[in-house]
């Protein structure tokens, strides 16, 4: 498993957690939106690793956008959900591509 796949599993899993309507939203608000800053940093790191490895970067780019607009409650939930699905699918596909090679 390559580093970009590992980071996509991690960021995708965290995005899925933040997408939980009551739990994720409550934690983000109670921590003064600091999880969004942490996620922004993680998405930037994942993007850099993906570019260096020549892997898909669209999930990380969407994650960066999500971290910036997730302050808006309904939009935040939607964006976290879409980003989580995209990152997890991309991580899964990357693993399958490595197994086939």
From first to last of its 101 residues, the chain has per-residue pLDDT tens of 899 999 999 999 999 999 998 899 899 999 999 999 999 999 999 999 999 999 999 999 999 999 999 999 889 999 999 999 999 999 999 877 766 66
* Cα three-residue angle 4-16-24, rounded to 5 degrees: 130
Token pair recorded at residue 98: 């490595």
Can you give the pLDDT at residue 21? 85
What is the reported pTM? 0.92
| Spacing of C-alpha 46 from chain mean position | 9
């Amino acid at each position: 498993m390559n580093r970009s796949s590992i980071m996509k599993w991690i960021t995708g899993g965290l995005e899925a957690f933040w997408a939980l309507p009551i739990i994720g939203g409550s934690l983000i608000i109670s921590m003064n939106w600091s999880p969004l800053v942490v996620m922004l940093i993680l998405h930037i790191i994942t993007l850099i690793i993906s570019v260096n490895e020549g892997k898909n970067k669209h999930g990380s780019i969407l994650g960066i956008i999500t971290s910036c607009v997730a302050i808006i409650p309904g939009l935040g939930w939607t964006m976290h959900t879409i980003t989580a699905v995209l990152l997890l699918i991309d991580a899964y596909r990357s693993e399958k591509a490595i197994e086939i090679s």
